[in-house]
Structure 1
Amino acid sequence: MNLNCIKMKFIMNILMLAVVSMLFDGCGKKDSPDDFPNDTVKIHTIHELNQEEEELDSHAGEEGSSVLELDFSSYTEISSAILGITNPVYSRIKKKKTGGYLLLYHNGQIGSNIYYSNSTDLKTWSNGELLFQQVPITSSQGADSRRYSTADAVVLSNGDILVAVSFRANLAYRHSPETNGIMMRRSKDNGFTWGEEQVIYTGTNWEPYLLELPSGEIQCYFTDTDPVYGNSGTSMVISNDGGLTWSPTGVSNNYKVIRQYKYMNQGRRIYTDQMPSVKLLNDGETLAGFMEARLEDNNQSSGNSYFMMSLVYGKDNWEHLTGDDVGPTDRQTNLFRGAGGYISQFRSGETVISCNINNIFSMKIGDNKARNFNHTAWNADWFQPFNGTGYWGSTEIDDAHHIIGTMHKSGTIMVGRFFLNHRINAPTSNIVVDGDTNDWTHTDALFIGSESQTQAVFRAAIDADNLYLLVERQDNYVATGDNVDLYIHNDEGNSLNINSLKITLDPAGVVACSKWSGSSWEAEDISLVTVSNKISGIINDGRADTGYLSEIGIPLSTINGNSGYVRFNAVLTDGNITDTFTFADPAKPESWMRIKKGISP
């Protein structure tokens, strides 16, 4: 082989290596970190925000704009395979003092055994285990069985968990009150092992409910029932030694505290007010109870039964009722049709009532006194986040901005975690619109994310000239058309006006700006606002996407923003899915969220 041939072969080899190298680079290009210049963009989730502890009742007087938003990523349906029974009913969830959650439920509508399950995250649950198991007994009716139902629990200030459950003799239930009662078990290790059974009340009852007061007194409320005459009412027994002993003692001996009169039946006065749920409100003095009343058509025992919900209030505990007494006098009676009530309260002041309306889990937010509840009427505007139907749901406060809701649904138990959207602050800050979030040191945020895994959080800040918004959209496939519409209103009146502003964002930045003309949104130059966008991922690619953020500066003069508040709304678009704040209507600023301007960070 001559020298020229050798040179030619060498050159050809070099060219082939270069081509192969280029091919390999091309094949791997989109998987290389170098091709994700923004892959380090931090997209905050709602779980990382709202870290500042708010003062007690910080939103008192502003609860009218507070709403709950289901966190789509939290929703789960616990299967019968995990729960260990085919018809789980009467779900109750309690947050443990040192972390994790306890779930209680029974089998079938009436129940005979009580089960429990544990979770660290509300999504994955341990296999259901028996907590109270029916046993054979001898009663006035001969061979019988003791059965258990309607368990509830309280997590004490020392971390102990007490579970109270109604028990009854299956055959002697209507005949022998002494064979019925309330049983309790205690866990000292976060609900993993349980102490011996302890009878804390003897007498016919249903639906015990436990409450610990700051004094250490533990109250066990229950439906005090006479099944022969259809009589009920709410009574309680109490403990002042951490649940070791209870008073009063004796068969059917209790403190009667809540009941309303219905009618006479066979010479007896018949009462109702049952299935109690009671909370000590943030004022540390007022006990607020939410419960159902079983009523009959034409106020006659022969009439068809239906249920209505009432709110009752007691100051510095309850007055004990004797003789023909009814009470308490401070109450809102038979407000609307519903059953299976529960009441909770956030640290910021908002109270939350839940109940079953037409077999649908329903919630409403009220003020810090649990007296005035949001929206137009009792028979409308209920937040009904679950798609399934059932009954006997409950709620549990998880933290300052989250509440847990649960109810059974045909062989499963539905569990959702709900975020409290309420007025946020726009602190006076030095914000530079550059897409860098390091100057956003405050974490007060709003949240949208009930319809899909695509979710967004919103923060606000202000200086002498501008309102600033930070939008962080969590999205595992960032695509063209993944828009966020922002609505800003100067809080002057409840209707759109010429200062109302709409901004449409997409992953690349501002798509459109418009202002309300009086009848429609009219386009404005996008230079009206300043925006900086950053994407974590590549548009229309889908690999390694986590979302995008938009930092926006809006001149206050644009919205004539002279008042102390701004109204704010947002709508997320993700393919065919749209999501917005609960009850928000883009045409009605009165339904939007509120932002308070100029608060010190």
Structure 2
Amino acid sequence: MQINILTIFLLLITLQMLSCAKEANLPTGKIPEVQVPVDGIRIGWDFRSLTRIAPLDGRTGYFGYARMTQLFDGRLACVYETSTGNIELVFSADGGKTWGNKQVLFETTNNIPPFVPEIVELSDHSILVACNPRPREPFTNDRKFGIKVRKSIDGGITWEKEQLIYQAQSTFENGCWEPSMVQLPGGEVQLFFANEGVYTTSGEQNISMLRSVDFGTSWTTDPVIVGFRKDRRDGMPVPLLLKDKGELLVAVEDNKTDQFKPTIYREKLMDNWADGTILATDPRREYAPLTDPLADNVYAGAPYLKRLQSGEVILSYQTNLQRDNIWDKSSMAVEIGNETGRNFSRRSIPFKVPLSKHGLWNSLSVIDGNTPVAITSTNAYSSTSTEVWMIRGRVIPEFQIPIGTSIPDGLLNDDCWQGEWPYFIGQTSNKQLFSNVCKDAQNLYIAVKIDGLASTVMNKTVDEFSLLLDTERKSYQAPHTGVFAFRVEYDGSVTVEQGQNGQWIPDQSGTKIKVGQSLNGDLHAVELAIPLGLFPEKFGLNKTVGINFVLQSTEAECITSTAENQPFTWVRAFLP
């Protein structure tokens, strides 16, 4: 990964803006308010997994609008558009660490370049790729905007001839856009696209759909209009099948009020669009389903949907939130919904894009069952090009703390530590923290592995990490009674702080904590045995606690979608 010095400087500025600051905005002198706790999993984006997908052959220019899927044989397939007027496809056989040579699937013909590809693997393991041919100016009546598809039945080795399955008009104002596909349980393939070709006297746009009942060999000719808001422009549809719910979701961008917001159509599989177009007030339309709403003047377009194996639906969009309200300087945001695709929250930013750069036309993939992958088109890592980059996420669960005992010697060989390590920090630099927890009748045991150089300030090694506990999960807005911070120094010493009226107050009980550590190169292992007697009698009264970690890196970094001094944001854990 080659990043120039200027880009690194800009990235550091961005990270400082997003850091988990220890002294930030602490109210003083009164009991903090109790907030609604932020429940649910988090996604920690792994900086070390940041990988360029395209170009890999020394070319410069624009490479973007990438879409990725994992095939039945484990390979990843990624399609993207290029400034040379081609749609290209690459494969990875190692989970995205390396990528093979490109294939060109669609080329510019008759001065009509292809754009915005989509890829899907069908139940018979054939692969369909769709794209959107868009004529260049000067427009002529014989060259129209359209939708094309191409199919492979041998895993992408060879490809059938491309098919033109729909045409709109021949001018930009009356074109069609952004195809996306899904296969229903019965085998029918539905291809959704934004369509303004039928509104030649207005700027309106609908979401249209074509069907194939023979695995993409043939298609219906008359599109079904599945969504439309009068005088507005529903656009950029992305379908997601919720088979266990008997429902199909379609994410669109919806400019109901001022700037675009993500909106979700909901259609019962048994109805299969027989119940008519989803209009503005249709209950099947859920406008901006975000728990933390965005202001009307904040742009949040180009949505994308995927589902984790654990059931949660994840939504991405590109937004100029905190980016000077300049839409083409937008970057990617991801939110996590419930298993029905509602109540999206726990916003995270997978790619750290400087304000002078962009991260556009993003998408999501889920690989190996429960590993989210974010894909962006960005110039954040290049001074000459927009490139396709990916980053893997780690799902941070609401952990069920097991019963177990550990000898705090730093060797991490107790039975406690042989299973899942649920907690992860490592989005802003190569330095990473992994942690695990167990408990017996006397102690709460914490194991931490830190991989990366120790952080120094003024030639002094600073505290390596902090463990934060809301022992009763009161979910205060700021530190207060029952909320603890355990600050662990690089030399293994521990200081304890308790919350009081929004402040951290030093506590003298650190000497009661047993600590063991080991160093092996850049790997620092620490084990803590924290006596339960340190905590209030109500520790885990409701069988839950709030937990967070802070890792000292370029800046202090917390678990994703949490804040160090806001206990209500900390991750819920269940006690045995």
The 3-state SS of whatever aligns with 1:369 is coil
- Secondary structure of the residue aligned to 1:509 is coil
1:186 corresponds in structure 2 to 151
What's the offset of the Cα at 1:79? 5.7
Cα distance in 2 between the residues matched to 1:568 and 1:325: 44
Using the TM superposition, give the Cα deviation of residue 507 of structure 1 relative to its aligned residue in structure 2, in angstroms.
4.3
Q: SS of the counterpart of 1:590?
A: helix
Query: What is residue 265 of structure 2 aligned with on the other side?
Result: 312
Report whether the alignment pairs 1:597 with 2:575: yes
Q: Distance in 2 between matches of 1:190 and 1:160?
A: 7
Name the SS for the 1:585 alignment partner. Answer: coil
- DSSP-derived class of the 1:99 partner: coil
Letter of the 2:249 counterpart = A
| Residue 170 of structure 1, CA deviation | 4.6
Give 1:26's aligned residue. Answer: none
1:114 to 81, 87, 97: 87
* Per-residue deviation, residues 329-375 of structure 1 (Å, max 9, x unmatched): 32223675322111112122322211111222122222222221226
Contact 1:448 1:456 in 2 (8 A): yes
Matched, 1:515 2:498: yes
What does the per-residue CA deviation read over 1:445-493, in whole Å, with 9 as the maximum and x for residues that have no partner? Answer: 1110012111011111222332222111112569843611111121331
Match in the other structure for 1:216: 187
Q: Which has the higher relative contact order, 1 or 2, with Cα contacts under 8 A spaced 6 or more apart?
A: 2
Is the alpha carbon distance of 1:257 and 1:106 closer, same or farther for their aligned partners in structure 2, counting shifts above 3 Å?
A: same
| C-alpha contact (below 8 Å) 1:491/1:565 kept by paired residues | yes
8 Å contact from structure 2 (residues 38, 568) kept in 1:
no
The separation in 2 between residues aligned to 1:452 and 1:169, in whole angstroms, is 43
Match of 1:391 among 360, 378, 388: 360
Q: Name the residue aligned to 2:121.
A: 155
Q: What is the aligned partner in structure 2 of residue 585 from structure 1?
A: 563
Quick one: structure 1 residues 199 and 470, their matched pair in 2 at CA, closer, same or farther if it must change by over 3 Å?
same
Mapping 1:168-567, distance limit 5 Å: 168-170=134-136, 175=141, 179-203=144-168, 205-226=176-197, 228-229=200-201, 230-246=203-219, 248-249=220-221, 253-262=222-231, 272-281=233-242, 283-293=244-254, 306-316=259-269, 317-320=271-274, 328-333=282-287, 337-358=299-320, 359-374=330-345, 383=349, 385-387=351-353, 388-410=357-379, 411=385, 412-434=387-409, 435-439=411-415, 440-475=417-452, 480-481=461-462, 483-495=464-476, 496-518=479-501, 519-536=503-520, 545-560=521-536, 561=539, 562-567=541-546
User: RMSD of the alignment, in Å?
Assistant: 3.1
**Gap regions ≥5 residues in structure 1:** 1-60, 137-144, 263-270, 298-305, 376-380, 537-544
What residue in structure 2 maps to residue 125 of structure 1?
A: 99
The match for 1:268 is none
Determine the C-alpha separation between the residues in 1 that align with 2:544 and 2:567: 12
Aligned residue-pair number: 493
8 Å contact kept, 1:63–1:422:
no
Assess, with a 3 A threshold, how the Cα gap between structure 1 residues 467 and 590 changes in structure 2: closer, same or farther: same
CA positional deviation for 1:277: 0.8
The aligned amino acid for 1:548 is H
Distance 1:490 1:404 in 2: 33
User: How far off its partner does 1:503 sit?
Assistant: 1.7
Q: Which has the larger radius of gyration?
A: 1
CA distance in 2, matches of 1:595, 1:123: 32
- Give the conservation status (yes or no) of the 8 Å contact 1:258–1:327: no
Separation of aligned partners in 2, 1:282 and 1:554: 45
In structure 2, how many angstroms separate the alpha carbons of the residues matched to 1:343 and 1:473? 33
Distance 1:390 1:498 in 2: 42
SS in 2 for 1:340: strand
* Aligned ranges 1:75-154 → 2 under 5 Å: 75-78=50-53, 80=55, 82=57, 84=59, 86-108=61-83, 112-119=85-92, 120-136=94-110, 145-154=111-120
Partner Cα separation in structure 2 for residue 294 and residue 112 of structure 1: 30
Instruction: Give yes or no for contact 1:487–1:503 (8 Å, CA) kept in 2.
Output: yes
| Aligned-partner Cα distance in 2 for 1:459–1:589 | 19
Counterpart of 1:283 in 2: which secondary structure?
helix
- Higher alpha-carbon deviation: 343-352 or 504-513: 504-513
Q: Is the 8 A contact 1:568 1:595 kept in 2?
A: yes
1:50 maps to none
Q: Does the aligned pair in 2 maintain the 1:339–1:356 contact within 8 Å?
A: yes
| Aligned-pair CA distance for 1:309 | 2.9
Q: 1:582 Cα shift? A: 1.9
Q: Cα distance 1:333–1:489, how it changes in 2: closer, same or farther (>3 A)?
A: closer
Q: Secondary structure at the match of 1:73?
A: helix
TM-score normalised over the length of structure 2: 0.77
Contact 2:463/2:487 (8 A) holds in 1: no
- 1:360 and 1:384 in contact (8 A); partners too: no
CA distance 1:418–1:445, shift in 2 (3 Å): same
Residues 65-119 of structure 1: CA deviation (Å, up to 9, x unaligned): 43222201011345646374511231222223222322222124xx842122223
What secondary structure does 1:363 align onto? strand
When residues 192 and 578 of structure 1 are mapped into structure 2, their CA distance, relative to the original with a 3 A threshold, is farther
Give the corresponding residue for 2:132. Answer: 166
The aligned amino acid for 2:511 is S
**1:127 Cα shift?**
4.2
Q: Which ranges of structure 2 fall in alignment gaps of 5 or more residues? A: 1-35, 169-174, 290-295, 321-329, 380-384
Question: Deviation at 1:528?
Answer: 2.4
Given that 2:49 and 2:392 are in contact with CA atoms closer than 8 Å, whether structure 1 keeps it comes out as yes
- For residues 395 and 243 of structure 2, the distance between their equivalents in structure 1, rounded to whole angstroms, comes to 17
**Given the superposition, is the C-alpha separation of residues 134 and 320 from structure 1 closer, same or farther in structure 2, using an over 3 Å criterion?**
farther
Distance in 2 (CA, whole Å) between partners of 1:312 and 1:520 is: 46
Cα pair distance change 1:315/1:505, threshold 3 Å: same
SS at match of 1:391: strand
Conserved? CA contact 2:51–2:390, under 8 Å:
yes
Q: CA deviation at 1:400?
A: 4.4
Residue type at the aligned position of 2:351:
P
**Offset at residue 570 of structure 1 (A):** 1.0
Tell me how far 1:197 sits from its aligned partner: 1.7
Alpha carbons of 1:296 and 1:456: their partners in 2 closer, same or farther (altered >3 Å)? closer
